[in-house]
Chains A and B, each alone.
Chain A
Amino acid sequence: MLDTPHLRIRGLQKQFVLHLLEGKTLLGFTDVSLDVPQGQFVGIAGRSGSGKSSLLKCIYRTYLADRGAMRYRRADGSVVDLATADDDTMLALRAAEIGYVSQFLRPTPRVRALDLAARPLLRRGVSLASARERVAVLFERLQLPAELWDGYPILFSGGEQQRVNLARALVAAPRLLLLDEPTSALDESLQAQVAELLAEAGSRGTTMIGVMHDTALLAQLADVVVTMAGGRMVDRQDGGRCSPAGATALSASA
């Protein structure tokens, strides 16, 4: 059981069929195979359009993969294929163990920052006061000015929204955290702060898959860095966090 990786991706492909353009197809990525062991950080590097974000969205099921499998080991040890799991199973996984930080927050109108970030906890039945308290700790560490905590994130700057977004994901302590450019709008000192928080999550056993343009930050955080180009995985390097186990983190891929 322990040998089974947290997530095992095999032969995954995402292609878009554009019916409004006479059925033209666009390739997101193809033939992606990857093993992600429990508690490891797999970084994904590559240029814009190489398929990095599409891969994350397929894992989270915002996109439907059209070929391949994603065998995910749940907290209870059972294994589910994220490519074919039904919608209710995906919703249960999102609520309990898979988190996603998108590059941009899409804030709910008229919901205050503290409450927005507290929502994942509220849905699990945590009391409002205690959920807010846990969010506040993260807001403080992410240096979100206290006068914004009761503000509406829809009015925030990109960097402020990104911190709300990160806090919302981290407060839920997911088992698998998908990160799509989580620090793109943050300055260096804030990036260091985020790196520290992510490293802490990793040491508590959170598995992470992160897309970042900043290769230095990626190398610092990741056990393994894979590179995508033209929709394929073209390279694999051990990252700065790499341990002997990390060397086997990745299966052979294109």
Chain B
Amino acid sequence: MSALPTPAAQNGHAHAHPQARDAGPDHPHDHTHGDDDEHAHPAIAVHAPLAATAEAGPAMRVAGLTKLYGRGCPDCIATTGPDVETNACAACGTLVACANVSFQLQAGHTIGIVGESGSGKTTVLRALYGDVTPTAGTAHLAAYRDGQRSIFEASSAERRRIRNFTLGMVYQHAWEGLNLRISAGGNVAERLLAAEWRRIGQIRERAAGLLGRMEVPVAWMDDFPAYFSGGMQQRVQIAKALANGPSVVLLDEMTSGLDVSVQAGVLDLIQEIQRDEGVAMVVVSHDLGVVRLLCERTMVMKNGRVVEAGLTDQILEDPHHPYTQLLVSSINA
């Protein structure tokens, strides 16, 4: 198995970002994986430095992503979608959660997916992260086999490695992304252990550094997130998602349960940390204000389809699709 070798990984992590280099362990020589390429520290070497983003090509390419719940039939696609305003196939009742979703994402960039409940935006994220098995489509990550093979074709062991080393996920509900019965620091450490960090001192240092960046008080590191406020839980979740130095982080309605003032703080921190870590993000939100703030580009989904995609300011100021016009005119972003 040769999962996740990258040029940077082969050079060790001398060119990884300074913060990770300082905190990173030396080659973690465990015995679960065979070849040496894997042992150069992919956890922190998988993403390109920010300055190189223009030449580096897309961090992720998604094409034709489709997820059906049900047995499926030849009429499923034709009888569902925004034009008929349903996700349920008229012929067989299959639920078309999303169909033919395609986009690409440059390293260090952020794309938003907006739409109402049932539009399929969360399904897209879950399929990419591996929580849901897509029915059709491909997703290529620059950090997986140099983008030559879809992660949907990866073996389950490879898939686990992609999840542990290359992707991060922030769920809408903290209890999905956090283990509420272990400490805040322990949650971040769990992620680092999965990415084969082995030295306790370095794990603690990385966890403290990230939680500090997310403005979680150091004194709380050993407390259980079960007792934290919603905003504080989301900060821990974001620190956890970023811990392994992923090239792409997927964020699902991360601020929708938060007060506006708390939300502004979390959004500000995530922008800052994104710039420093050079990570690309897919941000799912029903809140156009969040997307305006975080995303250069936006896709609008309805009934499982992308109805419009473009630069975020264009989507907000010159929406073309009737649904996007309705969405934009309904809010005050």
B318 touches A64 (CB 8 A): yes
Task: Pick out which of these stretches binds chain B: A17-25, A133-141, A158-166, A182-190.
Answer: A17-25
For residue B120, give the distance in angstroms from its CB to the closest CB of chain A. Answer: 21
Stretch at the interface among A68-76, A86-94, A211-219: A86-94
B322 touches A20 (CB 8 A): yes
- With A62-B311, A122-B275 in contact, is A87–B322 under 8 Å at CB? no
- Shortest CB-to-CB span from B315 to chain A, Å, is 10
| B320–A64 CB distance below 8 A | yes
Please measure, in the bound complex, the distance between the C-alpha atom of A133 and the C-alpha atom of B104, giving whole angstroms. 36
Q: Is the CB of B311 within 8 A of A109?
A: no
CB contact under 8 A between A108 and B293, given known A20-B322, A20-B326, A88-B106: yes
Q: Which single member of A16, A109, A122, A123 contacts B268 (CB below 8 Å)? A: A109
Residue in A62, A87, A91 whose beta carbon sits within 8 Å of that of B318 in the complex: A62
The answer, among B51, B106, B313, for a CB contact under 8 Å with A62, is: B313
Instruction: Judge whether B253 is part of the interface by a CB distance below 8 angstroms.
Output: no
Contact across chains for A63 and B314 when beta carbons are under 8 A apart:
yes
Q: Taking A61-B311, A88-B106, A91-B296 as contacts, is the C-beta distance between A125 and B51 under 8 angstroms?
A: yes
A62-B109 in contact given A91-B296, A108-B293 (Cβ < 8 Å): no
Residues of A close to B117: CB separation below 8 A: none
Answer whether residue A234 sits at the interface, using C-beta atoms and an 8 A cutoff: no
> Which residues of the other chain, A, contact B297 by a CB distance below 8 angstroms?
87, 91
Measured CA separation A57–B106 after assembly (Å): 24
Size band of the A side of the interface?
20 to 34
Option from B104, B293, B317, B320 in Cβ contact (under 8 Å) with A57 = B317
Say yes or no: is A79 at the interface (Cβ < 8 Å to chain B): no
Across the interface, name the chain B residue whose C-beta is closest to A124: B51
**A102: nearest chain-B partner, CB-CB:** B313
Contact in complex: B329, A20 (CB < 8 Å): yes
Question: Does A111 reach chain B (CB closer than 8 Å)?
Answer: yes
B92 at the interface (CB under 8 A from A): no
Which chain A residue lies CB-closest to B313?
A: A62
Say yes or no: A62-B317 contact (C-beta < 8 A), given A20-B322, A109-B268, A122-B275. Answer: yes
Asked if residues A109 and B318 are in contact (CB atoms below 8 Å), the reply is no
CB distance from B230 to the nearest CB of A (A): 18
Contacts of B322 in A (CB 8 A): 19-20
Q: Which of B268, B297, B313, B317 has the most CB of A within 10 A?
A: B313
A91 to B, closest residue via Cβ = B296
The answer to whether the Cβ of B310 comes within 8 Å of any Cβ in the partner chain is yes
Mostly helix, strand, loop or mixed at chain B's interface? helix
B265 touches A110 (CB 8 A): yes
* A19 lies within 8 A of B325 (CB): yes
Partner of A125 from the list B50, B109, B296, B325 (CB cut-off 8 Å) is B50
CB-defined contacts of B321 to chain A, threshold 8 Å: 19
Q: Measured between C-beta atoms, what is the minimum distance from A68 to chain B in Å?
A: 15
State A110–B54 Cα separation when bound (angstroms).
Answer: 29
Q: Are A110 and B264 touching (Cβ within 8 A)? A: yes
Mark interface residues in A103-136 (1 if CB within 8 Å of B CB, else 0).
0000011110000000000111100000000000
Asked if B325 and A92 sit within 8 Å, CB to CB, the answer is no
**Cβ of A28 to closest chain B Cβ, rounded Å:** 9
Q: How far is the CB of A216 from chain B (nearest CB, A)?
A: 30
Rounded to whole angstroms, the CA-CA distance of A32 and B322 in the bound complex is: 27
- Tell me which residues across on chain A come within 8 A of B265, comparing CB atoms: 110
CB–CB B318/A63 < 8 A:
yes
In the complex, chain B residues whose CB is within 8 Å of the CB of A16: 318
- A123 & B275 in contact (Cβ 8 Å cutoff): yes
> What residues on B are CB-neighbors of A123 within 8 Å?
275
For B310, the chain A residues whose CB sits under 8 A away are: 64, 87
Which residues of A are found within 8 Å of B293, using beta-carbon distances?
108-109
Cβ–Cβ < 8 Å partners of B313 in chain A: 62
Chain B, range 286-333, C-beta contacts under 8 Å to A: 293, 296-297, 309-311, 313-314, 317-318, 320-322, 325-326, 329
B318 near A20: Cβ-Cβ < 8 Å = no
Please, how many angstroms separate the alpha-carbon atoms of A156 and B317 in the complex? 24
Q: Across the interface, do B325 and A18 meet the contact criterion of CB distance under 8 Å? A: yes
Find chain A residues with CB under 8 A from B51 CB: 124-125
Q: How far is the CB of A4 from chain B (nearest CB, A)?
A: 24
Sample (12) of A-B pairs whose CB atoms are under 8 Å apart: A17-B320, A18-B325, A20-B322, A62-B317, A87-B297, A88-B104, A108-B271, A109-B267, A109-B268, A110-B264, A122-B275, A123-B275
- Give the A-binding residues of B (Cβ under 8 A): 50-51, 54, 104, 106, 109, 264-265, 267-268, 271, 275, 293, 296-297, 309-311, 313-314, 317-318, 320-322, 325-326, 329
The 9 A-B residue pairs whose C-beta atoms are closest, nearest first, are A19-B322, A109-B264, A63-B318, A125-B51, A110-B268, A62-B313, A110-B264, A19-B325, A62-B317
Given contacts A18-B325, A61-B311, 20 further A-B contacts (CB under 8 A): A17-B320, A19-B321, A19-B322, A20-B322, A20-B325, A61-B314, A62-B314, A62-B317, A64-B310, A87-B296, A87-B311, A90-B311, A91-B106, A108-B271, A109-B293, A110-B264, A110-B265, A111-B268, A122-B275, A123-B275
Point out residues on A near B: beta carbons under 8 Å.
16-20, 57, 61-64, 87-88, 90-92, 108-111, 122-125
